[in-house]
Amino acid sequence: MKKIVRTLFVCATALLAVSCSNEPKVKNIIFLIGDGMGLAQVSGVSLINNWEPLAMERAEYIGLQKSYSANNRVTDSAASGTALATGHKTYNSAIGVDVDKNPVPSTRELAQAAGYATGVVATYSVTNATPASFVAHEETRYAEDNIALDYLEADIDLFIGGGTRFFMERRDGRNLAEELKAKGFTVATDMAELDGVTEGKVAALLAPNAMPTIGQGRSKDYLPGATAKALEILSNNSKKGFFVMIEGSQIDGGGHDNNMVKIYEETVDFDNAVKVAFDFADTHPGTLVVVTADHETGGLSLVSGKTDFTLPEQGVKYEFGTTGHSATWLPIYAYGEGAEEFSGVMENTDIAKKMQKLLGLVE
Ligand code: MG
Ligand code: ZN
């Protein structure tokens, strides 16, 4: 009898252990994407700053990822955004659909369905390729009016960025801001309107399309502040945890323009948001922060020589190989719970798959 009781006890303990091990160890994921931020962009900022450490350098684990898409060795932001969001390689310009144009769920959607609070933050329109990949399903990134409709239909807690053009000045005449309000969203067109908002559904649409660049006068408080606000609201919206994607959208534009000043300013701005995320992870156990890019832009190289670059100069010439994207491997900086999963060389799609596993969304 004693032996049977003990056996039962051991089984119960084993069962408990099994159910405990199924409990996801990661509670919150903060996924930061620097659009167009290759290793040369990060290195360039570091040397312009005289090697003053970036927040990214606090990363506990470093990895590398391959960004190529299903139909091109040089990806665009839609295919790479979809890969990072859903774990599927697809064709350039696809938003949340696979090579056969079938919708594939994003980590954000799976997380929302499982009871997590979710959101996206950007410095370009929320309908632009990177954030759209986490929310919408469209055959082409250029269907931005449709992508805005996908936001309206989505189960999502929060989105912050530009895009009034696609929500309020639409070709079909609908005012999606009013429709979002009817669905219970607080709709803001200025970050100050969110000062007293600490929970609930939030849509902040702060510019017609792209927000201004730092050079055009975007506040340096915007991205770090929007990051902190998103973390506060999403934490309050679900006890289970949250998933948020935060994009430094305009590093890419600096690469397309072959403009090192713009790359510098936008990368520093993005790094300030990384600092907010890492600090949050320090005080909120169970938080994972992953920082990476969708592709490199500009084919930037840092070579010896003089330049007319207007920032403090240390004998480095910034040379660009293209006004488009390039195919170089991209850095991954991981911090917090589960960060060790992101060391090594991997596909961009592996990042989504690992996140889904860590949140207990897939086996
Ligand atoms: Mg982008
Ligand atoms: Zn680009």
pLDDT band at 315 (very low <50, low <70, confident <90, very high): confident
CA distance 126 to 149: 12
Say if residues 86 and 356 touch (Cβ distance below 8 Å). no
CA distance 185 to 199: 11
pLDDT single digits (tens) 40-57: 999 999 988 888 999 999
pLDDT band at 4 (very low <50, low <70, confident <90, very high): very low
pLDDT single digits (tens) 323-348: 999 999 999 999 999 999 999 999 99
Q: Which residues have beta carbons under 5 A from ligand 2 (an ion)?
A: 252, 297
Query: Residue 58 corresponds to which tokens in the numbers above?
Result: 């606090």
Of 57 and 315, the structure prediction assigns the larger pLDDT to 57
Dihedral sign for Cα 184, 121, 274, 81, please: positive
- The DSSP line for 259-287 is -HHHHHHHHHHHHHHHHHHHHHHHHSTTE
Using the mean position of ligand 1's atoms as its centre, give its distance from the Cα of residue 260 in Å.
Answer: 18
How high is the pLDDT of residue 48? 87
Any idea what the Cα angle at residue 257 is, between residues 255 and 260, rounded to 5°? Answer: 60
CA distance 5 to 172: 70
How high is the pLDDT of residue 307? 64
Q: What percent of the chain has pLDDT over 90?
A: 87
Instruction: Name the β-bridge partners of 316.
Output: 304
CA distance 188 to 192: 8
- The DSSP line for 103-129 is B---HHHHHHHTT-EEEEEEEEETTSH
How high is the pLDDT of residue 249? 98
CA distance 329 to 344: 12
Using the mean position of ligand 1's atoms as its centre, give its distance from the Cα of residue 5 in Å.
Answer: 60
Q: Average of pLDDT values for 265-271?
A: 98
pLDDT band at 13 (very low <50, low <70, confident <90, very high): very low
pLDDT band at 313 (very low <50, low <70, confident <90, very high): low
Q: Average of pLDDT values for 107-136?
A: 98
Whether 308 has a pLDDT exceeding 90, the answer reads no
The pair phi, psi for residue 295, each rounded to 5°, is -175, 170
CA distance 351 to 363: 15
Using the mean position of ligand 2's atoms as its centre, give its distance from the Cα of residue 251 in Å.
Answer: 9
The bound ligand whose nearest atom lies closest to the alpha carbon of 324 is 2
pTM of the model: 0.93
Using the mean position of ligand 1's atoms as its centre, give its distance from the Cα of residue 233 in Å.
Answer: 23
- The 8-class DSSP code of residue 73 comes to S
**Domain boundaries 2-358, CATH class:** alpha beta
Say if residues 265 and 219 touch (Cβ distance below 8 Å). no
The bound ligand whose nearest atom lies closest to the alpha carbon of 35 is 1
How high is the pLDDT of residue 222? 98
Query: Residue 250 corresponds to which tokens in the numbers above?
Result: 């305009």
How high is the pLDDT of residue 50? 85
pLDDT band at 311 (very low <50, low <70, confident <90, very high): low
Whether 164 has a pLDDT exceeding 70, the answer reads yes
pLDDT band at 19 (very low <50, low <70, confident <90, very high): very low
How high is the pLDDT of residue 363? 86
How high is the pLDDT of residue 15? 46
Catalytic residue positions, numbered = 77
Say if residues 204 and 196 touch (Cβ distance below 8 Å). no
Arithmetic mean of pLDDT over the chain? 93
pLDDT band at 212 (very low <50, low <70, confident <90, very high): very high
pLDDT band at 317 (very low <50, low <70, confident <90, very high): confident
The bound ligand whose nearest atom lies closest to the alpha carbon of 127 is 1
Q: Average of pLDDT values for 338-363?
A: 97
Q: Average of pLDDT values for 25-46?
A: 97
How high is the pLDDT of residue 12? 44
pLDDT single digits (tens) 222-246: 999 999 999 999 999 999 999 999 9
Whether 7 has a pLDDT exceeding 70, the answer reads no
Query: Residue 161 corresponds to which tokens in the numbers above?
Result: 């960025």
Using the mean position of ligand 1's atoms as its centre, give its distance from the Cα of residue 281 in Å.
Answer: 24
